[in-house]
């Protein structure tokens, strides 16, 4: 990360696994990670025991002090951050709001690695939003944080191409690695003031709001391409779902098909199963046919849709009710 002999004192803030590659790059650099901010432990697993998140686990393994406040608005927490005398705060998918008083603590300010090409897809779920919209390009942005949501000037961006079959999981991993790569290249320049931030075009901004479970419910009146993107965008959570014989059925994988397994010209009400192919179940949509290739019934394991159809007659059934 450059040849400046003076290492910076950096506080890192992040919580999920998306943030780990950036923290790893920082920990391997010449700079001093004086503390890691991460969200409080949360219940996980069948026993619902408190579990440390990925960033905390990494920090502990590397011997970095961990702070887990429930909010950054309290004076005591802000005083604790000031005593660390940070030159910079680096935030990657932290999940807590940084009030103005915190933004002013580091000498060189606070920067954020964001999983989109700002100003497109500001907000909480840019990866899913890019897939849902059918974007062909995504990337990462490193910006200077300010009071607005992802509105700060941008130091650097890096693009990648979204594959036609990209899922949120695969794009997440690629962007996480790309963010760490870009951070490694520009961090010293940001600290030295030689990398200058450019204001965003706020008129071109759009937002990716938080995802809810209801977003995953399939509307079969939409096109096959739209539903395919929905399945790929929500593959890790909350997972696209529909009703089969009144049972909530998860749809883990699907693809639009040009030639249906139906013996006739594809037709029927949206949601109607019109045939079973060797690799899936063909469902009529509002525009085109979608082939479900991996599904999961309640209380059952995920399985190939064609295998499921061998033991559970689905031809002619209407999904979504």
Q: What is the pLDDT of residues 111-151, one digit of tens each?
A: 999 999 999 999 999 999 999 999 999 999 999 999 999 99
Query: Which pLDDT does position 262 carry in this prediction?
Result: 58
R_g (Cα) of the chain, nearest Å: 23
Partners of 242 in the β-ladder: 249
Quick one: angle between helices 20-27 and 168-192, nearest 10? 40
Query: Which pLDDT does position 265 carry in this prediction?
Result: 63
Q: Is the pLDDT of residue 298 over 60?
A: yes
Query: Which pLDDT does position 48 carry in this prediction?
Result: 78
Cis peptide before 245 (omega within 30 of 0): no
> What is the average per-residue pLDDT within 66-77?
96
Q: What is the pLDDT of residues 232-287, one digit of tens each?
A: 999 989 999 999 999 999 999 999 997 665 556 667 899 999 999 999 999 999 99
Q: What is the pLDDT of residues 162-188, one digit of tens each?
A: 999 999 999 999 999 999 999 999 999
Question: Under 8 Å CB-to-CB from 40, ≥6 apart: which residues?
Answer: 68, 69, 70
Query: Which domains are delineated in the chain?
Result: 9-208 (3.40.50.170), 213-311 (3.10.25.10)
Partners of 275 in the β-ladder: 282
Pick the residue with more confidence: 141 or 96? 141
Query: Which pLDDT does position 2 carry in this prediction?
Result: 46
Query: Which pLDDT does position 258 carry in this prediction?
Result: 77
Question: Under 8 Å CB-to-CB from 298, ≥6 apart: which residues?
Answer: 247, 248, 249
């Amino acid at each position: 990360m450059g040849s400046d002999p003076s290492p910076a004192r950096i506080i890192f803030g992040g919580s999920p696994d998306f943030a780990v590659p950036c923290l790893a790059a920082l920990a391997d650099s010449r700079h001093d990670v004086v503390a890691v901010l991460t969200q409080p432990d949360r219940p996980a697993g069948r026993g619902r025991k408190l579990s440390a998140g990925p960033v905390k686990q990494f920090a502990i393994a590397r011997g970095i002090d961990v702070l887990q406040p429930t909010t950054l608005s309290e004076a005591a927490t802000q005083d604790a951050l000031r005593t660390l005398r940070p030159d910079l705060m680096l935030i990657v998918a932290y999940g807590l709001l940084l009030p103005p008083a915190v933004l002013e603590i580091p000498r060189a300010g606070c920067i954020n690695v964001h999983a989109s090409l700002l100003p497109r897809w500001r907000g909480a779920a840019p990866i899913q939003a890019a897939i849902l919209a059918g974007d062909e390009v995504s990337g990462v942005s490193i910006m200077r944080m300010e009071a607005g949501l992802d509105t700060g000037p941008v130091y650097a961006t890096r693009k990648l191409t979204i594959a036609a079959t990209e899922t949120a999981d695969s794009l997440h991993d690629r962007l996480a690695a790309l963010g760490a790569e870009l951070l490694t290249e520009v961090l010293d320049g940001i600290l030295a003031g030689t990398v200058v931030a450019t204001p965003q075009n706020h008129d071109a901004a759009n937002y990716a709001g938080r995802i809810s479970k209801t977003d995953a419910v399939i509307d079969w009146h939409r096109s096959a391409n739209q539903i395919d993107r929905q399945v790929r965008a929500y593959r890790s959570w909350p997972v696209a779902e529909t009703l089969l014989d009144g049972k909530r059925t998860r749809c883990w994988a699907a693809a639009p098909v040009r030639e249906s397994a139906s013996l006739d010209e594809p037709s029927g009400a949206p949601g109607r199963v019109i045939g079973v192919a060797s690799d899936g179940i063909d469902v009529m949509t509002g525009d085109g046919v979608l082939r479900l290739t991996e599904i999961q019934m309640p209380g059952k394991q995920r399985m190939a849709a064609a295998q499921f159809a061998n033991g559970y007659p689905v031809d002619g059934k209407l999904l979504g009710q």
